Amino acid sequence: MGWEGSRSRHRIEASDYSGAFLFLPLHPSAPDQPNRTMPLKIDVLTLFPRMLDGFLAESILGKGIAAGHLGVAVHDLRTWSTDKHRTADDRPFGGGAGMVMKPEPVFAAMEQLQTPGCRRIYLTPDGGPFSMAIAEQLSREQHLILLSGHYEGIDQRIREKLIDQEISIGDYVLTNGTLAAAVVIDALARFIPGVLGEEKSLTHESFTSKLLDFPQYTRPAEFRGMSVPEVLLSGNHAEIEKWRAARQLEKTRSVRPDLLT
């Protein structure tokens, strides 16, 4: 699979890339990342690759990819199926509802894409809980492979032999793990230097200090009888920080008291 050689920010669709949709960095490394010799490379394995088309091309993440801070390739797992029907799932042994993703395409894809030291992650509702700390840790890796679960899950032999980490983004079930992969990519990308326009944003958000965020206001100062708190208009930065800290604690106690224990 090629990650270098393109200077376009747009998706490349070509048979040379085994059915992958590539979102490549413009430069081999970002100038403001002195400790990273190459941008983070992320491969996503899914049965529904087009679900990530707009997500990877837009907003802060799209700009981060275009600027060369990370590169993402989305692969259709059926590319590694060997039968004429491109079968990637089958009925579970022992009976039961739904289908299970077969081991052959996943093993073949992993063996082709993995690099020494890469981290192979399976997105699944029964994985370990995702957090900001995990996102920050993953942002320091050189190469990630994200396997999106579908249907009733994947053959257990894949989990035992190929997967380094299993991640759940919450105690609920989605139609497939591609959406979970998108969440992980977006969260970790924010920790890569240069992706956010203002690095200060990372230190003033929910969960970075185990507190939820404080209320935000913008112009106009008066709107339909509702006024912005006077302290925010005062210009007194010490009092503003004090007010914000109090609102954070108040919000956390009300909505997420578990964060304070």
Q: What percent of the chain has pLDDT over 70?
A: 82
Task: Give mean pLDDT, residues 123-148.
Answer: 97
For residue 30, pLDDT over 90 is answered with no
Tell me which of 3.40.570.10, 3.40.309.10, 3.40.1280.10, 3.40.50.620 is the CATH number of domain 12-189. Answer: 3.40.1280.10
Average pLDDT, the chain: 86
Q: Which residue has the higher pLDDT, 210 or 154?
A: 154
Quote the pTM value. 0.83
Side-chain-side CA neighbours of 195 within 13 Å: the count stands at: 24
Task: Give mean pLDDT, residues 204-212.
Answer: 70
Distance CA 212, CA 253 (A): 9
State how beta strands 222-223 and 165-168 pair.
unpaired
Q: Residue 38 has what pLDDT?
A: 81
Q: Would you state the structure tokens that stand for residue 171, as one six-digit string?
A: 């105690």
As a CATH number, domain 205-260 is 1.10.1270.20
Q: Would you state the structure tokens that stand for residue 249, as one six-digit string?
A: 């604690």
Domain coordinates of the chain in residue numbers? 12-189, 205-260
Residues 6+ apart with CB under 8 A from 32: 193, 194
Task: Give mean pLDDT, residues 254-258.
Answer: 95
For residue 100, pLDDT over 90 is answered with yes
Q: Residue 210 has what pLDDT?
A: 83
For residue 13, pLDDT over 70 is answered with no
Nearest by Cα to 44 from 67, 27, 66, 65? 65
Of 109-118, 124-133, 203-212, 222-231, give the lowest mean pLDDT range. Answer: 203-212
Of 12-16, 206-210, 237-241, give the lowest mean pLDDT range. Answer: 12-16
Tokens 């490549």 locate to 24
Q: Residue 16 has what pLDDT?
A: 36
Q: Residue 257 has what pLDDT?
A: 95
Nearest by Cα to 12 from 78, 62, 73, 80? 73
Task: Give mean pLDDT, residues 64-87.
Answer: 95
